[in-house]
Amino acid sequence: MAERDAEQIVADFLGDNPRAEELAALRRALAPRLAALKASREALPPENIVELGPLQAQIATMERHMDALAVELAVSQFTEDTVRAALAKAPDDPPDE
């Protein structure tokens, strides 16, 4: 089976769910933002304690998003790998029944 055909089958199988590479790209894009939020928290002077609550909430939300993306990435990667493995083992022409 051609690589392009296999990738189309993977895409069909995933449906509207994002591919593993898309999820990895999202995580890579969010990582610097999370780091910047954490740096802002560390740089916050003690007299600005009022600002800590909202900043801490943003960090917690971003960490939850990163964790969720990690789980979705693992599931998508497993699904893609499983479909590719099944296609690799499948005969090119199924027997007539």
Q: Residue 97 pLDDT > 60, yes or no?
A: no
23 C-beta neighbours (distance < 10 Å), count: 21
Instruction: Please name the residue ranges forming H helices in 1-97.
Output: 3-14, 20-43, 49-89
pTM for this entry: 0.79
pLDDT tens for 42-56 read: 999 888 888 889 999
What is the Cα–Cα distance from 52 to 58, expressed in whole angstroms?
A: 10
Residues 30-49, mean pLDDT to the nearest whole number: 92
Q: Is the distance from CB of 57 to CB of 40 less than 8 angstroms?
A: no
**Residue 96 dihedral angles phi and psi, to the nearest 5°:** -75, 140
